[in-house]
């Protein structure tokens, strides 16, 4: 039986990791994060698929298409965390269909500009991890793995 699959969604500008504001986001690239998640996924008995989208609609489509394909979602919606009711609604809908989501952020939004203090997504995610840099993705994946029902498939 195939291992359970988890979708990792990286939001806008995360394709620039390693070069964009390294004092805030670190020097780890998105490719390095994805490779580390794939390796950790194998260790946890999960198949990890990672996507990056700059557009809000693309993120929503990825969330909606997760039903029947993935057992859980790990999402760093980046700037859309603070602005997108539509991404929130998509996560709420997929959560009601049995696909839990965990939110992750490289930086600690509550310690940054006031407009970053509120996550519109947190209320529909099963958990949130922030402030641990690239390591936060692994922490979040471990947490998501604990939420998934036992058994393979998807």
Catalytic residue, from 10, 53, 80, 105: name it. Answer: 105
* Separation CA 120–CA 36 (nearest Å): 27
**Given 3.40.50.300, 3.40.30.10, 3.40.50.9100, 3.50.50.60, which CATH number is that of 5-147?**
3.40.50.9100
pLDDT band, very low/low/confident/very high, at 154 (cuts 50, 70, 90): low
Catalytic residue, from 25, 53, 80, 137: name it. Answer: 25
- For residue 7, is pLDDT > 60? yes
pLDDT tens per residue, range 111-139: 677 777 789 999 999 999 999 999 999 99
25 part of the active site = yes
**Per-residue DSSP letter, 4:** P
pLDDT tens per residue, range 60-80: 999 999 999 999 999 999 999
10 part of the active site = no
* Separation CA 6–CA 145 (nearest Å): 9
Q: Read off the pTM.
A: 0.93
Q: What integer pLDDT is reported at residue 20 of this predicted model? A: 86
* Separation CA 52–CA 40 (nearest Å): 19
């Amino acid at each position: 039986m195939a291992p359970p699959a988890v979708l990792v969604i990286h939001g806008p500008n995360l394709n620039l990791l390693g070069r964009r504001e390294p004092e805030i986001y670190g020097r780890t690239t998105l490719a390095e994060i994805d490779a580390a998640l794939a390796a950790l996924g194998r260790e946890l008995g999960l198949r990890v698929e990672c996507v990056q989208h700059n557009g809000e609609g693309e993120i929503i489509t990825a969330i909606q298409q997760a039903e029947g394909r993935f057992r859980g979602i790990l999402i760093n919606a980046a700037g859309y965390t603070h602005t997108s009711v539509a991404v929130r609604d998509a996560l709420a809908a997929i959560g009601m269909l049995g696909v839990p989501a965990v939110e992750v952020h490289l930086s600690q939004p509550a310690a940054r500009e006031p407009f970053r203090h509120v996550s519109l997504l947190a209320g529909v995610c099963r958990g949130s991890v922030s402030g641990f840099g690239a390591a936060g993705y692994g922490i979040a994946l471990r947490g998501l793995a604990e939420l998934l029902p036992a058994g393979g498939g998807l």
